[in-house]
Structure 1
Amino acid sequence: MAVRRVVPNIPSGSVQESRAFYGLLGFEEVMNHGWIMTLASPSSPAAQISVMTSDRTAPVDPDMSVEVDDVDAAYAIMRESGAEILHPIQDEDWGVRRFFVRDPSGRVVNVLAHRARPGQ
């Protein structure tokens, strides 16, 4: 299993203002679902931050997102380790498969993989 990227999730009631603020640092919007917006560096696209009001399909809001190449393997490893699963693995409408787990410091980690599009 390999980590593809790590993205901090910033809770905010001011998503649009946050877009303008981080835009001053060179970030550009690459995804916006209304409740979560991801900004990335055009020169280094894996350098990203997400700003969110609250997670629409999970019982808690994640502190960070970790994209892996095999989310099912990551889920199995976390379950076998006895880690606290806060949100079971599931496919989301926006094209990711994910689960939430609590880390030893109490942070909520959204572990995800993008699903392949038909024809890929």
Structure 2
Amino acid sequence: MSIRRVMPDIRSEAMEESRDFFGLLGFEEVMNHGWVMTLASPSNPTAQVTFMSHDKTAPVVPDLSVEVDDVDAAYAVMRESGAEIVHPLQDEEWGVRRFFVRDPNGRVVNVLSHR
């Protein structure tokens, strides 16, 4: 299993203001579903930050997202380790397969692969 990218997820009620602020640093909007927005560096597209007002299908907003090449393998490893699964593995309508797991610090990690 390999990691493709890691992004902070920031809970926000100020999506437009966040886009404008991080735009001053050179970030550009690359995805916006209203409740979730991702900004990326045009010169380094895997340098990203995501803002979320809520999560559409999960009970919490994650603290961090990790994109992996094989989310099913990652899910199996986490279940076998006894880690707390916060949101079960599922396909989402916006084109990702994902699950949420709680890390040892209490942070919620969104582990995903694009379909």
- TM-score normalised per structure 1: 0.95
The ranges of structure 1 where at least 4 consecutive aligned residues each deviate by more than 2 angstroms after the TM superposition are: none
Give the RMSD, CA atoms, in angstroms: 0.4
Gaps of 5+ in 1: 116-120
Deviations 1:28-65 (A, max 9, x none): 00000100000000000000000110111101110010
Gaps of 5+ in 2: none
Q: Distance in 1 between matches of 2:64 and 2:36?
A: 12
Shift of 1:75: 0.1
**Corresponding residue number in structure 2 for 1:118:** none
- TM-score normalised per structure 2: 0.99
Letter of the structure 1 residue corresponding to residue 110 of structure 2: N
Q: Distance in 1 between matches of 2:94 and 2:100?
A: 17
**Corresponding residue number in structure 2 for 1:77:** 77
**Corresponding residue number in structure 1 for 2:61:** 61
**Corresponding residue number in structure 2 for 1:4:** 4
Q: Distance in 2 between matches of 1:100 and 1:14?
A: 24
Between the two proteins, what is the percent identity of the paired residues?
Answer: 76
Q: Distance in 1 between matches of 2:29 and 2:74?
A: 28
**Corresponding residue number in structure 1 for 2:114:** 114
- Aligned pair count reads 115
